[in-house]
Chains A and B, each alone.
Chain A
Amino acid sequence: MESFTSPTVTQRDQILVEQQVFSIFKTFYDMPPSSQSFMLELQRENHVEYLTNGLKQLGPSFCVLDANRPWICYWILHSIALTDEFVDPELEDNTIDFLSRCQDPNGGYGGGPGQLPHLATTYAAVNSLVTLGGDKALSSINREKLYSFMRQMKDASGGFRMHDGGEIDVRACYTAISVASLLNILDDELVQNVGNYILSCQTYEGGISGEPGSEAHGGYTFCGLATMILINEVNRLDLSSLIDWVVFRQGVEGGFQGRTNKLVDGCYSFWQGGIFALIKRLNSTKGERSIPLGDGEDSTASSDATEESSNKDLSQGGSHSEKGDHHDTSSRVNVDDISHNSSKGHAKVDPLFNSLALQQYILLCSQDLNGGLRDKPGKSRDHYHTCYCLSGLSVCQRSWSEDEDAPPLPRAVLGPYSNLLEPIHPLYNVVLDRYQEAHEFFTGS
């Protein structure tokens, strides 16, 4: 008879990580308060320098990312935007030109010039351009062609293929729906049966897997949940078991694991942390904004009449006239409700996860003081982890706030208040004011 032995390889690895992390925490707690505060400081300048260099020139080790070049743009540009910095105009121009060369004549963006269009790199390219903002960037996107590319990627099952002849999975659904929603080209044809596909990927654990039959995974759970919110079918998911699953993915280190019994990884600060941001806003949404008002009442109902009317457009189905009239408003959700609402200032709400512990993990364990962030101590920094650790940090800092526009309370921000990052729109993971600019641009309001 075989028997089990303990500890397993998994347990040994876990113990090693815990030792490493706890020794960092111990060093931290043994320090005088002044040094503690320094330890917790977000090394903004170093991060921005590391990021900006990456946009100019990458080392040869980046060969393997050659089919993901728009992703590198997005990770870097979004991280820079989170720190409220800008890239210089020449670099910005170059990036727009580069992404334009990635755009396929028949729609969609490939991993580099000449490569096949691919949904994931399309998402990265569109999010990059939205993050850059401005007419040149936004108008460089060929929405009509992009729409027809998406229709070609739509599978009869309801899911999407990553590229022509490529794999179908939850990532593909999210990137397609997110881009379509952001560019205001989401219609019933694209939405049809996507919900069924996502539902078939929710496992008994509560989370969502990449494809049917697989185990629940943080990245896919974020993608699946965000997709369901965007197509307004979120109540079809078993949200209660989804929340059960995700709350138990935060470990003793403070950071999140991606799957049951895996090691902590800084990037899940966003994939799992972002799930909480989505869930919080699902229920915190305020009624004022979604009620379509009579014309005469617009100015009195809201102090911000512009936003009000743009909301009205969305809730009535968008205004993308090229695709004909959208009669069925039920397939679209008012995405503004998810991101921000107008109620009064500093409302305090307890988050469903330990936000301060996660911030502590990001700042003390994921941060490379020379710039850049990483998976865990002992790993090296990269742009991917920098992007998702910082996005996660931004989510944490606002995990108590109801209102994204108002600055959070000092105690919600671990370390000096200067650590505060820009707020994001959690459905798309772009900085909020960039989203608003793009939203106005593409809804024509």
Chain B
Amino acid sequence: MHGRPRKAPKPEDEAAATAKAQKLRALQTQFFSFHHSKIYTKDAVELSAKLLEINPESYTAWNYRKLAVEHYLSQPDCNPDSVKSVLNDELGVVESALRQNFKSYGAWHHRKWVLSKGHSSIDHELRLLDKFQKADSRNFHAWNYRRFVSELMNRSEKDELKYTEDMIYTNFSNYSAWHNRSVLLSALLEKKAEGFLSKENVLPEEYEFIHQAIFTDPDDQSGWFYHLWLLDQTVTIDYPLLVSTWPAHGSDVFLVGDRCQIGSSSPFTTLFSDSGSFPIVLYFNQPVEGVSSSTVSIECGFNKSKDLLWEPLSVSNSQTAQVWVAHLKFPTSELDSSVEVSVGHTKEIVSRRGFQYNHPSTFSFKVHVQPVERDSSQVSVAENILWREENFNVYGEQAEESIPIVSFDRLCIKNGHESAASNWRIEALAKEIECFRELLLLMDCKIGKLTLARLLTAYDAMLFPFANKLVHSEEVLELYNDLMKLDPTHHRYYKDEYSSVLLQKMTSSKESLLQHCFRYKDSVSSAIGNTICLRLNNLSLSRTRALEKLLWVQMLDLSHNELQSIEGLEAMQLLSCLNLGNNKLRSLTALEPLRKLKSLRVLDISYNQIGDHSIDTTRYLCCSPLSHSVGRELNKDETVINDVTLNYWEAFYVFRDLNLYQLDIVGNTIADEKFKPVLVKIMPTLKRLDGELLD
């Protein structure tokens, strides 16, 4: 079939081939008659061998031979010697079939079947394989068979590792050999074989090995792929960890039943809630499942109900998510109480790859509930947030102690982070960094620059976990800047990485965060005069990342960037005002993360590209709005679905669950005169659309 070597036919060959075809036809007729009447005589079995020699793909003939062997083994006169010789005959037939076509699935499978019987010597197998693998070193049948044989003969993985080394020295472009090496090493590390007790002993040598290949020819793909695997092995922390929470450990949360000015509390931790509850957010280092009231316990003076409902914040509706939220009800009377949350004291929180959360941790915070006398006239005022420059005042250094990121460090300590065990990782990364700096001195190499940028980012993250310094961020940003110029084809990829590093840098310390904190105050509305707005506008960001440090943010300005996606924003459960104006959002479905933001009241998506393109190509990774669960959920409100909403299904899908008061959508292709009444219909809570007060 595919990939078999072909020659152009010559006339004399053609005559021979015709003769061969006739022979095959005769053989076949005879074979099928034997097969269908279950005749397994010596002659009959030999005939099938002839057939297979001509056509190794004849799987019916392979099956016939299996039946013949089984038939023979069930005879009363068969003895160990004859069994062995019968099976050896099978191996002989396979071997000549493979000579004819070493990509024949049937032939390789038959050989596995014979050897699994356990009567044949397997010593010959590796020699045979060597022959085939020399002829075609990338043949995946041969590599699969090799794994099968070495398992069968209990050949040590170390010997196999040596074999991959030989293959690599013969041709370091042979990615199959590199790949098998990664498979073998993973197996050795997993079972903690002698000499492979930990990655610490193994990976540094592997780095040495790969450097030889990379330095010999930095343009070869194979080595870089293996290097990427090594890097992944070095930085991946298998076990789930809690990296951030809201409320933060040791913080004071002020809860107010309705919007009003309150006295002395910090604007960072004052939450206005009209639902009588506040969210508790758990942010892990990777997606986990199993967060529930049995794995997370909450001690508090005011809520006796033990069964909090934990919800995964994932757009794909899966039960696995990096961020989880639960809503805790609070009483309407005045209250000062502390809350203690314990995570993972039972073992059911697990990562996607099956690793258990095994760093039980506890965080606590104080809750102050402020009784509010309802003033109906105040509530009915439709607020109008104006994202004008003059409404924002630099927050300054005051009340610095209350910015909630302080408590990250305390949380980390409680995690009992595996710091001692990580020393070798840091050393390995440092060495790699040095090595690739050298390489880049020798030559200008895109993949070298990219690798260096990745190494530096990983190094910073590891050396200062969750902490305040990213020493190499300037250098990394510079590298991505270079790459954008050097390799315009992958510009968008580098841009995304650039944005992500920039955001990490800005959120890494109190000082840098405070530079972006502003106090919002406009002339009309005094109701939210105390709000802090985090302004990350005009930074040409193409992606939102590093949100774990921004869980406290209630008002966020991301306007005038280059965002095409707001992936991850669903983690910011306290958001009530969001400005996404003047970005590059291309469809309403790109706003899907907003569906999870139940506190969102004010949204600005004006001057994007919504409606220009009917598909948002940046959303390849998100789930389809058509997944069955969505369809089912929609069944319930069939009454809402009518002609109008059907044509604006995406709008219905995204906005239906939001309780927006204020929406700005002007400056998008989709926002024509027909669309506005639809929006009003979908969102009965809407009071202001594009600045105009609705009736």
Query: B-contacting residues of A (Cβ < 8 Å)?
Result: 2-11, 59-61, 63-68, 71, 110-111, 114-116, 118, 162-167, 203-205, 209-211, 213-215, 217, 232, 235, 239-240, 243, 259-262, 265, 267, 279-280, 282-294, 297, 300-301, 315, 329-330, 333-334, 337, 343-344, 347-350, 352, 375, 379-380, 382, 384, 402
Tell me whether A5 and B649 are in contact (CB under 8 A): no
Q: Take A60-B18, A214-B140, A402-B615 as given contacts and tell me if A243 and B621 are in contact as well, using a CB distance cutoff of 8 Å.
A: yes
Tell me whether B620 and A63 are in contact (CB under 8 A): no
How far is A290 from B650 in the complex, measured between Cα atoms in Å? 13
B641 at the interface (CB under 8 A from A): yes
B78 at the interface (CB under 8 A from A): no
Query: A-contacting residues of B (Cβ < 8 Å)?
Result: 1-4, 6, 8-9, 14, 17-18, 20-21, 24, 28, 32, 35-36, 54-60, 63, 66, 101, 105-106, 108-109, 113, 138, 140, 143-144, 147, 169, 171-176, 179-180, 182-183, 212-213, 216-217, 220-222, 225, 229, 232, 316, 318, 613-617, 619-629, 631, 634-635, 638, 641-643, 646-647, 649-650, 652-653
Tell me whether A111 and B59 are in contact (CB under 8 A): yes
How far is A289 from B213 in the complex, measured between Cα atoms in Å? 53
Tell me whether B625 and A285 are in contact (CB under 8 A): yes
Tell me whether B17 and A61 are in contact (CB under 8 A): yes
User: Which single residue of chain A is at the shortest CB-CB distance from B224?
Assistant: A260
Contacts of B629 in A (CB 8 A): 330
Q: List the 10 shortest-distance A-B pairs measured between CB atoms, nearest first.
A: A287-B649, A10-B173, A60-B21, A60-B17, A4-B216, A347-B614, A215-B179, A8-B173, A260-B175, A6-B217
How far is A76 from B182 in the complex, measured between Cα atoms in Å? 41
Q: Take A66-B55, A301-B646 as given contacts and tell me if A167 and B625 are in contact as well, using a CB distance cutoff of 8 Å.
A: no
Contacts of A232 in B (CB 8 A): 627-628
User: Which single residue of chain B is at the shortest CB-CB distance from A120?
Assistant: B105
How far is A202 from B420 in the complex, measured between Cα atoms in Å? 33
**Supplied contacts A259-B176, A315-B628, 18 more A-B pairs, CB within 8 Å:** A4-B172, A5-B216, A60-B20, A63-B20, A66-B57, A111-B58, A115-B58, A162-B105, A167-B105, A210-B144, A213-B144, A213-B183, A260-B221, A280-B620, A285-B624, A329-B628, A337-B624, A349-B613
Tell me whether A384 and B2 are in contact (CB under 8 A): yes
Tell me whether A283 and B619 are in contact (CB under 8 A): yes
How far is A380 from B5 in the complex, measured between Cα atoms in Å? 10
Tell me whether A114 and B32 are in contact (CB under 8 A): yes
User: Which single residue of chain B is at the shortest CB-CB distance from A265?
Assistant: B3
Contacts of A66 in B (CB 8 A): 24, 28, 55, 57-58
Tell me whether A63 and B55 are in contact (CB under 8 A): yes
Contacts of B221 in A (CB 8 A): 260-261
How far is A344 from B647 in the complex, measured between Cα atoms in Å? 11
Contacts of A292 in B (CB 8 A): 631, 635
Q: Take A67-B55, A162-B105 as given contacts and tell me if A380 and B6 are in contact as well, using a CB distance cutoff of 8 Å.
A: yes
Partner pick for B631 among A167, A261, A291, A380, CB 8 A cutoff? A291
Tell me whether B8 and A287 are in contact (CB under 8 A): no
**A-B pairs with beta carbons under 8 Å apart, 16 shown:** A6-B217, A8-B171, A59-B9, A60-B17, A60-B20, A116-B59, A166-B109, A167-B105, A213-B144, A213-B147, A214-B144, A260-B225, A267-B2, A285-B624, A287-B646, A402-B615
Q: Which of B1, B14, B101 has the most CB of A within 10 A?
A: B1
Contacts of A163 in B (CB 8 A): 59, 63
Q: How far is the CB of A166 from chain B (nearest CB, A)?
A: 6
Q: How far is the CB of B614 from chain A (nearest CB, A)?
A: 4
Contacts of B63 in A (CB 8 A): 116, 163-166
User: Which single residue of chain B is at the shortest CB-CB distance from A171?
Assistant: B105
Binding site secondary structure of chain B = helix
Tell me whether A61 and B182 are in contact (CB under 8 A): no
How far is A214 from B35 in the complex, measured between Cα atoms in Å? 34
How far is A205 from B8 in the complex, measured between Cα atoms in Å? 37
Contacts of A267 in B (CB 8 A): 2
Partner pick for A288 among B109, B222, B646, CB 8 A cutoff? B646
Partner pick for A67 among B60, B147, B174, B217, CB 8 A cutoff? B60
How far is A141 from B450 in the complex, measured between Cα atoms in Å? 54
Q: Take A111-B60, A349-B613 as given contacts and tell me if A287 and B623 are in contact as well, using a CB distance cutoff of 8 Å.
A: no
Q: How far is the CB of B6 from chain A (nearest CB, A)?
A: 5
Q: Which of B4, B54, B138, B626 has the most CB of A within 10 A?
A: B626
Q: How far is the CB of A240 from chain B (nearest CB, A)?
A: 5
Partner pick for B174 among A10, A204, A240, A243, CB 8 A cutoff? A10
Q: Take A4-B216, A215-B179, A287-B625 as given contacts and tell me if A347 and B615 are in contact as well, using a CB distance cutoff of 8 Å.
A: yes
Contacts of B108 in A (CB 8 A): 167
How far is A205 from B58 in the complex, measured between Cα atoms in Å? 34
Tell me whether A65 and B631 are in contact (CB under 8 A): no
User: Which single residue of chain A is at the shortest CB-CB distance from B186?
Assistant: A204
Contacts of A235 in B (CB 8 A): 316, 318, 623, 627
Tell me whether A4 and B17 are in contact (CB under 8 A): no
Tell me whether B624 and A293 are in contact (CB under 8 A): no
Contacts of B106 in A (CB 8 A): 166
Partner pick for B59 among A9, A67, A290, CB 8 A cutoff? A67
Q: How far is the CB of A358 from chain B (nearest CB, A)?
A: 15
How far is A235 from B615 in the complex, measured between Cα atoms in Å? 19
Contacts of A285 in B (CB 8 A): 624-626
How far is A337 from B172 in the complex, measured between Cα atoms in Å? 44
Q: How far is the CB of B498 from chain A (nearest CB, A)?
A: 18
Tell me whether B222 and A261 are in contact (CB under 8 A): yes
Partner pick for B641 among A64, A261, A293, CB 8 A cutoff? A293
Q: How far is the CB of A68 from chain B (nearest CB, A)?
A: 6
User: Which single residue of chain A is at the shortest CB-CB distance from B222?
Assistant: A261
Tell me whether B8 and A380 are in contact (CB under 8 A): yes
Contacts of A384 in B (CB 8 A): 1-2
Tell me whether B649 and A288 are in contact (CB under 8 A): yes
How far is A285 from B620 in the complex, measured between Cα atoms in Å? 11
Q: How far is the CB of B271 from chain A (nearest CB, A)?
A: 33
Contacts of A284 in B (CB 8 A): 614-615
How far is A297 from B643 in the complex, measured between Cα atoms in Å? 9
Contacts of B635 in A (CB 8 A): 292
Contacts of B20 in A (CB 8 A): 60, 63
Partner pick for B175 among A210, A261, A343, CB 8 A cutoff? A261
Tell me whether A291 and B614 are in contact (CB under 8 A): no
Contacts of B623 in A (CB 8 A): 235
Contacts of A265 in B (CB 8 A): 3
User: Which single residue of chain A is at the shortest CB-CB distance from B13?
Assistant: A61
Contacts of B615 in A (CB 8 A): 280, 283-284, 347, 349, 402
Tell me whether B643 and A300 are in contact (CB under 8 A): yes
Tell me whether A239 and B620 are in contact (CB under 8 A): yes
